[in-house]
Structure 1
Amino acid sequence: MAKMEVKTSLLDNMIGVGDMVLLEPLNEETFINNLKKRFDHNEIYTYIGSVVISVNPYRSLPIYSPEKVEDYRNRNFYELSPHIFALSDEAYRSLRDQDKDQCILITGESGAGKTEASKLVMSYVAAVCGKGAEVNQVKEQLLQSNPVLEAFGNAKTVRNDNSSRFGKYMDIEFDFKGDPLGGVISNYYVLDYSVSMHDNSFEQFIINYCNEKLQQIFIELTLKEEQEEYIREGIEWTHIDYFNNAIICDLIENNTNGILAMLDEECLRPGTVTDETFLEKLNQVCATHQHFESRMSKSSRFLNDTSLPHSCFRIQHYAGKVLYQVEGFVDKNNDLLYRDLSQAMWKAGHTLIKSLFPEGNPAKINLKRPPTAGSQFKASVATLMKNLQTKNPNYIRCIKPNDKKAAHIFTEALVCHQIRYLGLLENVRVRRAGYAFRQAYEPCLERYKMLCKQTWPHWKGPARAGVEVLFNELEIPVEEYSFGRSKIFIRNPRTLFKLEDLRKQRLEDLATLIQKIYRGWKCRTHFLLMRKSQIVVAAWYRRYAQQKRYQQIKSSALVIQSYIRGWKARKILRELKHQKRCEEAATTIAAYWRGTQARRELSRLKEEARNKHAIAVIWAYWLGSKARRELKRLKEEARRKHAVAVIWAYWLGLKVLPHPFFLPTVNSTKPSTYSILNYDSLPLALSLQGSEAASKGDFLFSSDHLIEMATKLYRTTLSQTKQKLNIEISDEYVHNRLNVPSHF
């Protein structure tokens, strides 16, 4: 979303009067009261037409931020509230867009804020011009020149903590794009009195002379600007009566009988020259001048004026009377360096110092007397005035609110004195001698169009025609305004204030109308919203009811479907159960029949088995008896032969029991082979050699410790017969039983 641009006109939210031209009634008291009222509300800037009055606040104010620079950039001078940035922007745009040389004159007494005002002007110009590297370098040099100048030419005084002891003229050159190219700084007379406080003397005299010249050119250029604008707009020019201070300037700078000319003459003449002889000469030449006053003059009107000492003279400047102490005029006007000092400085090794004192060069000794300080300053002022007359002037009048250099203090007597010697009231009178207020047709129509039904809310035709219709509708007297080519001119501030009062009342009526329309719109919007909401709620309720009914139908359908599926399933289940019972019955019958057949077969087999078992038992009993008889015989033989092992066994292939059996020591019988089956529970066979072996066959042994038993037999045989047994491990072997081979 684009940011909304808020415009504040000079006439909006005014604290006092933003432009002194609109002050009513106009006098010294109302002028000071208006400045004080604005000063108390931190409004330190006030206009007199295109002139800016700046009151030193002696503190920092948040009105110089980059946002403020953007607010005043490319704006009409009267479009926003008074500010030094408005004048800076007007001068810069006239220079850049119209190719008109501009000058900004900043005047005021010591401590009024002239140096700070010049810094603000330069900082604004630096902020709005180009941004290239070279341009930034030039801007930085211009901005950094202020600290250098202040270091050489400023000092702390009783009246000002940063008092400038010289006047400076800064000439900044711009290219066609409005970018600064460089600058030249010229300085004027250095003031000793800024350091040491004393009575008005030569320094103050030449300063007041400069102020008189600036006031003269100010009035001339202001009237010239007014006349040019009237001619440009096609308004009839009327003669304006004003005080012309040219007579005061002539009293000071006249080449024949001016004060500076007589001072130079007195300094150059032979003989005894003192300040008293200079005053006597003034009394002779200037006694009849209406702006010169001296107690020792030929005129007897000041003989009894005790406020005028004998060693002083008084000049009635445009800002008031100023008393000058004549002491020191001659010496300060000479302002000469001793020749030996100039020669010593010229002999310095530093090039810069040497260039500053060319008169010390012995090869270029000039016997001509150097110009005096007064003549130098007069020539500098003449050059300055000539330079200013070729440029479009802009003015900043600085005012010092108090002598304490403290914030929030406004001394009316001090401000009144400055208003007088700056000629601000005279400036206002000159400005409002013709038309007090002027404004372009477009902003004028935009501001006051709500006062006429034909122009509100939109005017379709030219802006001038709209303003004419507006003023005719309001019945404003014709002599109170004039139509220019691009502006409307209003003669009396009361007419403008009447328009503002009507506008304020109309804005209140429009605000009431807007509130009424807004409340109606709000109620209608609320009603439409409620109606729309009711429709939405009803639609949603109907939807909910239909959804609920659908869910009920769906649930009922599911119940019905489940019942039908259950009925079908039960029918099928009954059929399956009947089929299963039939199959089970058939299986049971078949099983019973097979069982009967099996039992019959079993009875038959049992009968056969009983018959066979009787035979086997008898045969086994016979074999057992035979084996026992043989065992008994062997035991007897073993006891006789001191057997070393005990064996329990069955003869003729019966299982060898795990009982100890002691092998007898038989010399004629030599075991030849051990055969060990590769099974844990099968027997060990011992093959014998000899006739006895042939008659008895192989021995079979069974033991849970087969390896240990074989080892024991091996060691016993080795110890008895001194022969090694051959041990074979196999899965089967051939057993000789009574010369009958049997396979195991």
Structure 2
Amino acid sequence: MSSALGGPGMSHRGARPEDGVRDMIIISDIDENGININLKTRYKEDKIYTFTGSILVAVNPYKQLLIYEQKDIEEYSGKKISQVEPHVFAVSEEAFQNLKNSGVNQSCIISGESGAGKTETTKFILQYLCSVTNHTSFWVEQQILEANTVLEAFGNAKTVRNDNSSRFGKFMQVCFDDSQQIKGCIVQDYLLEQSRITFQSKNERNYHVFYQFIAGADASAEFREQFFVQPINTYYYLSQSGCTTLNGVNDTKMFDRLRLAMNVLKIPDQMVDGIFSVISAILHLGNLTFEDVEGEKSDLTSKDKEILDMICMLLGFEAEPLTDSLLYRQIQVRGTVTSIPFKVQEASENRHAMAKALYSRSFAWLVDAINKCTNPGQHESRFLGVLDIFGFENFEINSFEQLCINYTNEKLHRFFNHYVFAIEQEIYKEEEIEFAHITFTDNSPCLELIEKSPRCILKSVDEECRFPQGTDKSYITKQHEAFESHPCYIKGDRRMWEIEFGIQHYAGAVTYKVKGFLDKNKDTQQDMLFEMMHNSVNVFVQDLTRFQDLLGVKLEDMGGRQTISRTTSKKPTVGDTFKHQLNALVDILTTTNPWYVRCLKSNTDKKANVYNDKEVLTQLSYSGMLDIIRIKREGYPIHVPHENFLEKYKCLTPNLSPGDEPRTLSTKILNLLDLPKTEWQVGKNQIFMRNSVFEPLEERRIIFITKKAILIQRTWKGFACRHKYLRMREAVMILQAYFRACRSRLLFKRQRRSAVVIQRHVRGFLARKLATRLKEQKRKEEERKRKEEMEREKRDREKEAADNEAIENMIKLVLHHLLFHLSLRSLHAFICLFLSHLKYSFKFKFNYIL
């Protein structure tokens, strides 16, 4: 039983309740009035949470407080209870850290009356757990949160005490792996209140999903036509109480959230449509009316034919078998099936039973779908459980459901007493340490009256159910005879003996009306209905047949979890099954380290800023809060075996001589550390400490371990740094070598490129110089040739001139001779000769020129 109290608060011994102390165990001479004053003082400051050691007390404020934001989660993450203000997040963190450090499964048990805030507290715990992990499994975390949305829609309803009352119990095992990451969740449900489906008292409502469904249909004409939805005031199952709305709640938005949650949980669209078809069919079933036929049988009225057709289309049934199942029951005698008509009242009750069967199986299907979606696989053995169970109830009319609910609270109250008081003081006795005995209210007699065989109330109900001619009247008569002398049994007023009995519970006396006790305990099977469901064309309706034997399925589920198997070979009853479910739950809780959140109602009118002293004092009285404070303050909440103590704290006294037995060594350590002797005791096998000793001791150990860890880290970091330096130096040298080579290559290439450029320029220069010289030589050569050509031409011209002159002279001479010496013939011959000669001369001149 570990606890971590307010370290700062331990120095304030003698604090007054008027101060609004955060942890009530530090208040001197406290009584129930002092507790009430302390809670009231904090309540007026909107501090609704108060510690009582490791137990958290929560007072319902009936208004929204901005203390559950992400910043608040971060404020509590990684912090001890002693370091923070009281809050449900502080308990969640402590449970999470205990699971992480000790390896022992944890459980958060949330208790209180109906309307005290248990459901909201459950949601805050789940919100915190899904926020403080590393979100490596974010989708699974969202599925767990949305599973709560679906279960709340189908399992919660408005009552006169609570606008969001859980009408079923649930134990959610949030499973973790070794690295503290959420891997899934297992949901176990307990005792869904089926009577609410067909009847609600004044100012109460049916389950939320019905109103959300109608609101969703009002917002969508297509949806309304698909599921044959009618105005809400036309449905008998929704209009009989006169209450169809909730203050501050928009059912249309809630329906959208429900659709989204189903999507996150991977429920196929076909199945979602099937669920809504069943919801609509249940509402239409409630509108069926029956007329009497000759006082011996019944028949549907003429206006019911249309309703019957809609139900058939919604559920995928044939009209004729459905009509037969509504008007007749079948019995089998020696292999022969006989149909017996229902009377009007019987037909009406049968209709209600069909509606209950459809809804309860749909709810079971949803729980099964959630468990399949959030299945943790191999990690289911490491969990942090959150128990949200129905609170103690005492209405004007209390029936079988209230008996089971109050039986649950008796069972959990006994577990709490056994854990907090009985086990603690028994350990003190066994360990032979000095302590002041604390008396507490033991509810064992009341619990034995309800559940202890062979003679108990649940057994009496079961026996009468199995008796062929058993009735509610015969049951109550036999029960009065059997238990009238029991101190917790109230026989009551003689005039009411045939219709009621009472039980003195730990929370007060409750009177139960026995009408319908046997029928509710039997959970009458609808064989004809399930035969039609088996042949249905609606896939969802057909799948519901897996849960035909719902009680048997629940018992098999428990058997699969290594709890308790089916009791007898006979058909189980509701009470029988529920009893074994509770025993299985307690078996699981016994293996965990429990953390308690005690929820209290500030008033019965659900009003904000109203604190009713009388109402709170009544709750404090039966919750045993004063005894809790006393045992927490006067007891020793920290128990450590000697071997573990030595293993953990021997390091604080290194000079301690070994060889002595563990008990002696443990005593020496405590003395050497100079811890106040009034705050610890040494038992035979364990050390018992109060938080004023344990927390400083743990702080010293943490400081010592931190110093040694720092030394180890420093040495390791030095080695790692040296090793890293050598590797880096070697790497740097390689890099430098490669760099230098690269740089040299780059320099060489750059120089070579420069040399090539220079060479190109030099070669260009030389080539240009040579070209100039060659051009000059060519010019001079051409000039020389030109001059020679000119000389040659000059000579040719001179020679031609000389030739021409010679020719002219010859011609002149010839002419002269012709004129004077030749005759005409001679002249002719001469002329011919001349012309021939002249032709030759010109030809020669031409060839010379060429």
Q: How high is the TM-score relative to the length of structure 2?
A: 0.47
Partner of 1:256 in structure 2? 454
Deviation at 1:20, TM superposition (A): 3.0
Cα 1:359–1:157, aligned 2, differ >3 Å: closer, same or farther? closer
Tell me how far apart the structure 2 counterparts of residues 399 and 77 of structure 1 sit (CA, whole Å).
Answer: 21
Tell me how far apart the structure 2 counterparts of residues 78 and 318 of structure 1 sit (CA, whole Å).
Answer: 32
Partner of 2:150 in structure 1? 148
Q: Which of 579, 587, 591 is the matching residue for 1:386?
A: 587
Mapped contact 2:167–2:192 kept (Cα < 8 A): yes
Deviation at 1:241, TM superposition (A): 3.4
Cα 1:465–1:79, aligned 2, differ >3 Å: closer, same or farther? farther
Alignment of 1:110-129 (within 5 A): 110-129=114-133
Is 1:401 aligned to residue 403 of structure 2? no
Tell me how far apart the structure 2 counterparts of residues 236 and 211 of structure 1 sit (CA, whole Å).
Answer: 33
Cα 1:321–1:24, aligned 2, differ >3 Å: closer, same or farther? farther
Specify the SS of the correspondent of 2:62: coil
Specify the SS of the correspondent of 2:84: coil
Cα 1:86–1:489, aligned 2, differ >3 Å: closer, same or farther? closer
Partner of 1:74 in structure 2? 78
Partner of 1:289 in structure 2? 486
**Structure having the higher Rg:** 1
Alignment of 1:102-181 (within 5 A): 102-132=106-136, 135-181=137-183
Tell me how far apart the structure 1 counterparts of residues 39 and 101 of structure 2 sit (CA, whole Å).
Answer: 34
Tell me how far apart the structure 1 counterparts of residues 79 and 47 of structure 2 sit (CA, whole Å).
Answer: 19
Tell me how far apart the structure 2 counterparts of residues 212 and 466 of structure 1 sit (CA, whole Å).
Answer: 47
Partner of 1:199 in structure 2? 397
Mapped contact 1:20–1:47 kept (Cα < 8 A): yes
Report how many residues are paired.
Answer: 441
Mapped contact 2:639–2:688 kept (Cα < 8 A): no
Cα 1:337–1:262, aligned 2, differ >3 Å: closer, same or farther? same
Deviation at 1:352, TM superposition (A): 4.3
Cα 1:130–1:232, aligned 2, differ >3 Å: closer, same or farther? farther
Mapped contact 2:169–2:192 kept (Cα < 8 A): yes
Deviation at 1:223, TM superposition (A): 3.7
Tell me how far apart the structure 2 counterparts of residues 351 and 258 of structure 1 sit (CA, whole Å).
Answer: 43
Partner of 1:519 in structure 2? none
Q: Which of 81, 88, 93 is the matching residue for 1:84?
A: 88
Deviation at 1:351, TM superposition (A): 4.4
Mapped contact 1:105–1:393 kept (Cα < 8 A): yes
The superposition leaves residues 569-605 of structure 1 with CA deviations (integer Å, 9 ceiling, x where unpaired) of xxxxxxxxxxxxxxxxxxxxxxxxxxxxxxxxxxxxx
What amino acid does structure 1 have at the position aligned with 2:86? P
What amino acid does structure 2 have at the position aligned with 1:249? L
Q: Which of 44, 63, 78 is the matching residue for 2:48?
A: 44
Is 1:215 aligned to residue 417 of structure 2? no
Q: Which has the higher helix share?
A: 2
Partner of 2:36 in structure 1? 32
What amino acid does structure 2 have at the position aligned with 1:92? F
Tell me how far apart the structure 1 counterparts of residues 485 and 9 of structure 2 sit (CA, whole Å).
Answer: 52
Partner of 1:424 in structure 2? 625
Mapped contact 1:334–1:373 kept (Cα < 8 A): yes
Tell me how far apart the structure 2 counterparts of residues 86 and 224 of structure 1 sit (CA, whole Å).
Answer: 26
The superposition leaves residues 411-446 of structure 1 with CA deviations (integer Å, 9 ceiling, x where unpaired) of 22322333234343343344345359999x9xxxxx
Tell me how far apart the structure 2 counterparts of residues 230 and 86 of structure 1 sit (CA, whole Å).
Answer: 29
What are the ranges of 5 or more consecutive residues in structure 1 without an aligned counterpart?
1-5, 297-302, 442-461, 472-477, 492-744
Deviation at 1:227, TM superposition (A): 6.0
Specify the SS of the correspondent of 1:185: strand
The superposition leaves residues 96-123 of structure 1 with CA deviations (integer Å, 9 ceiling, x where unpaired) of 1211101111112222111111111111
Q: How high is the TM-score relative to the length of structure 1?
A: 0.54
Cα 1:178–1:359, aligned 2, differ >3 Å: closer, same or farther? closer
What are the ranges of 5 or more consecutive residues in structure 2 without an aligned counterpart?
1-5, 202-395, 553-567, 646-667, 694-850
Alignment of 1:268-417 (within 5 A): 268-271=466-469, 273-295=470-492, 311-358=499-546, 370-417=571-618
What amino acid does structure 2 have at the position aligned with 1:379? H
Deviation at 1:274, TM superposition (A): 2.1
Cα 1:256–1:50, aligned 2, differ >3 Å: closer, same or farther? same
Deviation at 1:260, TM superposition (A): 0.2
Q: What RMSD, in angstroms, separates the aligned Cα atoms of the two structures?
A: 3.7
Partner of 2:463 in structure 1? 265
Tell me how far apart the structure 2 counterparts of residues 416 and 240 of structure 1 sit (CA, whole Å).
Answer: 21
The superposition leaves residues 27-57 of structure 1 with CA deviations (integer Å, 9 ceiling, x where unpaired) of 3322222211111111101122211111111
Cα 1:153–1:276, aligned 2, differ >3 Å: closer, same or farther? same
Specify the SS of the correspondent of 1:78: helix
Specify the SS of the correspondent of 1:316: strand
Q: Answer 1 or 2: higher relative contact order, Cα 8 Å, separation at least 6.
A: 2
Specify the SS of the correspondent of 1:126: helix
Specify the SS of the correspondent of 1:67: helix
Cα 1:343–1:236, aligned 2, differ >3 Å: closer, same or farther? farther
Tell me how far apart the structure 1 counterparts of residues 88 and 672 of structure 2 sit (CA, whole Å).
Answer: 33
Cα 1:315–1:11, aligned 2, differ >3 Å: closer, same or farther? farther
- Percent identity reads 36
Mapped contact 1:312–1:324 kept (Cα < 8 A): yes
Cα 1:386–1:425, aligned 2, differ >3 Å: closer, same or farther? same
